[in-house]
Amino acid sequence: MSGLSELYQEIAVCQRCQLAKYRTRTVPGEGKEDAEIMFIGEAPGWHEDQQGRPFVGPAGLYLDQLLASIGLRREQVYIANVIKCRPQGNRDPLPAEILACRHWLERQIELICPKMIVTLGRYSMAMFFPGKSISKIHGTAQKRDGIIYFAMYHPAAALHQQSLRRAIEEDMLRIPQLLAQAESMTETDKKPKQLNMFEA
């Protein structure tokens, strides 16, 4: 059994936070085990909770289109979320839930070892770009410890706001070039060893 399958089994019985009581299924993530690009969204919604798969509702269809714009299918990348269970009523995830779930995401990143992590939305961004504002840093990249971190708006937000839609589509188009430059890109000096999503 692969490391990811074992991880999925552990996540399936997770009781680390209150969301375990309300979920239909856990939504661990899916995609290529050795994907070069890992997309990290926020939390499962209703469709994801029903199917146990990430980004399968309207935001997911749009993510599929964005991937297609750079010649990729979801099977060629890895897609996960900051938290693995749906918050009731699609409310925002609570800090305690994000903290409880963080362990799973860290193990996923270790197993997949992506060249590039693309954050989708502000909760995901906050984990890797602490203290930053998405309107300022979307479309920008940082390299730390050999991984390129790239921040994008959340597809669900971009679906409904024309200005964000243009931004997310343009940002997506930057990914192939960034990936091609992965080796030669210089590391960002400041590397927060302990990434802290709760910083200002």
- Minimum gap (Å) between residue 85 Cβ and ligand URA: 11
In a 13 Å sphere around the CA of 119, the CA atoms on its Cβ side amount to: 27
Contact yes or no for 171/152 (Cβ under 8 A): yes
In a 13 Å sphere around the CA of 66, the CA atoms on its Cβ side amount to: 29
What's the CA gap between 165 and 4, in Å, rounded? Answer: 33
- Minimum gap (Å) between residue 53 Cβ and ligand URA: 8
By beta-carbon proximity to ligand URA, the closer residue of 35 and 156 is 156
CA distances from 198 to 93, 96, 100, 131, 164 (A): 13, 10, 13, 8, 25
- Minimum gap (Å) between residue 51 Cβ and ligand URA: 10
- Residues near 103 by beta carbon (within 8 Å), at least 6 away in sequence: 16
By beta-carbon proximity to ligand URA, the closer residue of 31 and 57 is 57
By beta-carbon proximity to ligand URA, the closer residue of 82 and 141 is 82
By beta-carbon proximity to ligand URA, the closer residue of 49 and 143 is 49
DSSP single-letter state for residue 144: E
What's the CA gap between 187 and 109, in Å, rounded? Answer: 19
- Minimum gap (Å) between residue 146 Cβ and ligand URA: 26
- Residues near 11 by beta carbon (within 8 Å), at least 6 away in sequence: 26, 28, 84, 104
Q: Which 79-138 residues touch ligand URA, going by CB under 6 A?
A: 81
- Minimum gap (Å) between residue 155 Cβ and ligand URA: 7
Q: Which 41-70 residues touch ligand URA, going by CB under 6 A?
A: 41-45, 48, 54-55, 57, 59-60
Stretch that binds ligand URA, among 37-45, 68-76, 103-111, 179-187 (CB under 6 A): 37-45
Interface with ligand URA (CB under 6 A), residue total 13
- Minimum gap (Å) between residue 59 Cβ and ligand URA: 4
Contact yes or no for 46/37 (Cβ under 8 A): no
Among 156, 164, 172, 197, binds ligand URA (CB under 6 A): 156
By beta-carbon proximity to ligand URA, the closer residue of 63 and 72 is 63
Tokens matching residue 198: 């709760």
Tokens matching residue 6: 């074992």
Q: In the complex, which residues of this chain contact ligand URA (CB under 6 A)?
A: 41-45, 48, 54-55, 57, 59-60, 81, 156
